[in-house]
Amino acid sequence: MSSKFKPPIGNLSQISGKCISLVGDDIDTDRIIPARFLKCIDFDSLGKYVFDDDRKTLKGNHPFDLETNKGASILVVNSNFGCGSSREHAPQALMRWGIKAIIGESFADIFYSNCIAIGIPCFTLPKKSIKEIQKYQDIENLFLEIDLFESTAKAEELKFNLEIKETSKKMFLSGEWDATSKLLENKELIDNRLNSLPYIQFNSDSF
């Protein structure tokens, strides 16, 4: 887990980093972050509890515990990743562990949307390509460079054409995924709009 968490902001066009592979279909959000951690009042501490039950069961042999995976930021998964409950804590926990992008065969819809909302692009690849990456990682570390403009992922010996929803791609390239920053940038427009509404008496100086 990264000791200095910095959330993404603004437009995202390139992501590079070491891959961490998690093999298995239908990995649900309760495995990603168990329900007992949902009572937290903020997300800051969730990174250290990601896959907590699985990691305890494997006693240090889980991918998120291996020394070789420290500092990894691109998660490679199989099909239907993030299924189960719609808890937003799951992508928040992954992000605070250090994950900046996820490449998989497929994702649960709500998990996918929750990832996009906090700046984690989710890309898809065919099963054959995912297995190729995971097999490569069994031998040595894999560093990928992701280009959102081209929708590609490259390493020295590998190149993949990634799939991502066009609407999501445009949001990342324009920065529109970052709703908070967009609101802060347009405070004057928001104030003007509120002041124009006859049923709202708004004074920004009071906030």
Residue 6 lies in a domain: no
**What are the DSSP calls for 148-193, one per residue?**
TTTTEEE-SS-EEE-B--HHHHHHHHHTTT-HHHHHHHTHHHHHHH
Q: Name the 3-class secondary structure at 99.
A: coil
> In Å, what is the CA distance from 203 to each residue of 112, 184, 194, 207?
37, 16, 9, 8
Beta strands in 6-141 (DSSP E): 14-21, 74-76, 101-104, 122-124
> Half-sphere exposure (CA, 13 Å, Cβ side) for 127?
4
Q: How many CB atoms lie within 10 A of CB 111?
A: 27
Res 3: pLDDT = 47
Res 21: pLDDT = 95
Residue listed under structure tokens 């093999």: 23
- In a shared domain, residues 31 and 44: yes
Res 141: pLDDT = 85
The tens digit of pLDDT for each residue in 136-155 reads 877 678 999 999 999 999 99
Res 98: pLDDT = 95
> In Å, what is the CA distance from 105 to each residue of 122, 178, 185?
10, 25, 36
- In a shared domain, residues 113 and 39: yes
- In a shared domain, residues 181 and 89: no
- In a shared domain, residues 121 and 105: yes
Instruction: Specify the DSSP class assigned to residue 181.
Output: H
Residue 2 has pLDDT above 60, yes or no: no
Give the domain extent around 182. 177-207
- In a shared domain, residues 29 and 78: yes
Residue 202 has pLDDT above 60, yes or no: no
The tens digit of pLDDT for each residue in 69-128 reads 999 999 999 999 999 998 899 999 999 999 999 999 999 999 999 999 999 999 999 999
Counted domains in the chain: 2
Residue 9 lies in a domain: no
Residue 3 lies in a domain: no
Res 200: pLDDT = 66
The tens digit of pLDDT for each residue in 25-84 reads 999 999 999 999 988 777 888 999 999 999 999 999 999 999 999 999 999 999 999 999
- In a shared domain, residues 163 and 195: no
Q: Name the 3-class secondary structure at 159.
A: strand
